[in-house]
Structure 1
Amino acid sequence: SGYWTGLVNTKYRQSLFTFPVLGVYKLSPRCRISFGPYFSVAMANDFSGSVYEGYLRETDPTGDKITFEGDDKAAYDFSDNLRMIHWGVEAGFSWRAFKHLNVDAHLDWGLSNIFHSSFKTVNFDLYPIYLSVGFGYAF
């Protein structure tokens, strides 16, 4: 760990089982909005990647310099440091476009950092934000 300056390639994947608690307001017979908190439990976690074309300063910004040039890469895997429980807010919109066609959009905005609070290697918070857009056939 240390202070990195250079390029980063990160893969983040997380499978979540989510419990939304939403209030729904009917704007018109064809439009509805929803809003409320959600709680998620992670089923699978992956946060890994590599750093390259740059340098690492060990301990502090003036520490020993380790340079990565050309094909030199350093891999990392912080999957074990990801939270298992997440929470946030969800806002949604549903519109009955035609007699049998619904169009939906939901935005989930995480309020909990994806990493445990004790994890200090990534020294800024990362919050999950998801947008889902879909359609459905109403019988």
Structure 2
Amino acid sequence: MKQILLSLLCLLSLTATAQEARDKNILAALRHGWNFELRAGLSMGGTAPIPMPREIRGVEKYNPKLNVHVEGQASKWFDPHWGLVMGLRMEQKGMVTGARVKNYHTSLLLGEGAEVSGNWTGYVESNYAASSIVLPISAAYKVNDHGKLQAGLYAGYRFDGSFTGHVTDGHFRMGSPIGERVDFPEDKQATYDFSGELSRFEAGMQVGGSWRAYRHFLVYGELRASFTPIFPGSFATLTTKLYPIYVSTGFSYLF
């Protein structure tokens, strides 16, 4: 029994020593101009064609979804106002859109899974989703003890994603705008799935700010826009380039 008690006391002593050492390391880092944050929030937006092509005649449906992100940040301050922010973020992006198009080049699954290319006129609905790991880096400016602004770049790797949809209430021209016509009334659909063609890598810019509401809790907002489209340049099925543009907001805990 005494041996067990002695072992427990030794374990508690070692745990307390380790905790004290860790606290000292964190305090030492803070004294040298480092701050650490843990962020969690939601993103809303979509993948938009830039510029808007003439084939898209009107948007009839838009569901931005609620996309979750979690991020850890480390900030190094070089003086009372200027610093550098580095992070690691896990994020989701997604949307559902429905639009009326005319002579929109695409590929559809017809018959027994046969894929054919051509031009679609009518209603098209798309469902996009992606999960990525992102490395952001930004320059930061402290406005005062409560407010902070930052702007920079990010690079991301998509490890999961899909781009699917269907068409209806229109007609499809096989091969070209003057090819064989196939009609699709409102009770008939054709589907498509370009998930395997999505790009793995993404790069873009971000700009935003945060406000310290309490000693350790902050609220933040950020705009993130990609320089790279969701499909590579070699993907010729869709002639329009789609770029992810999202607005994020959430809460942050300052260590």
TM-score, structure 2 normalization: 0.52
Structure 1 letter corresponding to 2:198: L
Task: Compute the displacement of 1:130 (Å).
Answer: 1.6
Say which is worse superposed, 86-95 or 1-10, in terms of deviation. Answer: 1-10
- Largest Rg, 1 or 2: 2
Structure 2 partner of 1:13 = 129
Structure 1 letter corresponding to 2:142: K
Say which is worse superposed, 58-67 or 32-41, in terms of deviation. Answer: 58-67
Say which is worse superposed, 80-89 or 51-60, in terms of deviation. Answer: 51-60
Ranges in structure 1 where 5+ consecutive residues have no aligned partner: none
Structure 1 partner of 2:67 = none
Task: Compute the displacement of 1:138 (Å).
Answer: 4.5
**Over aligned residue pairs, what C-alpha RMSD do you find?**
1.4
The CA distance in 1 between the partners of 2:206 and 2:186, in whole Å, is 44
Structure 1 partner of 2:196 = 80
Structure 1 partner of 2:118 = 2
The CA distance in 1 between the partners of 2:207 and 2:234, in whole Å, is 30
Structure 1 partner of 2:52 = none
Structure 2 letter corresponding to 1:59: G
1:31 is matched with which residue: 135, 142, 147? 147
The CA distance in 2 between the partners of 1:54 and 1:94, in whole Å, is 47
**Percent same amino acid among aligned pairs?**
37
Helix, strand or coil for the counterpart of 2:242? coil
The CA distance in 2 between the partners of 1:95 and 1:30, in whole Å, is 5
1:70-126 deviations in whole A, cap 9, x for unaligned?
A: 321111100011000000001121111344431101111011010011111111010
Helix, strand or coil for the counterpart of 2:236? coil
Ranges in structure 2 where 5+ consecutive residues have no aligned partner: 1-116
Structure 2 partner of 1:56 = 172
Structure 2 letter corresponding to 1:48: T
Helix, strand or coil for the counterpart of 1:80? helix
Structure 2 partner of 1:68 = 184
Size of the alignment, in residue pairs?
139
Task: Compute the displacement of 1:24 (Å).
Answer: 0.8
Which structure has the higher relative contact order (CA within 8 Å, separation 6+)? 1
Structure 2 letter corresponding to 1:97: A
Structure 1 letter corresponding to 2:126: T
Structure with the bigger percentage of helix: 2
The CA distance in 1 between the partners of 2:188 and 2:136, in whole Å, is 45
The CA distance in 1 between the partners of 2:221 and 2:186, in whole Å, is 44
Structure 2 partner of 1:102 = 218
The CA distance in 1 between the partners of 2:131 and 2:160, in whole Å, is 5
Structure 2 partner of 1:114 = 230
1:9-32 deviations in whole A, cap 9, x for unaligned?
A: 211000010000111111121111
Helix, strand or coil for the counterpart of 2:183? strand
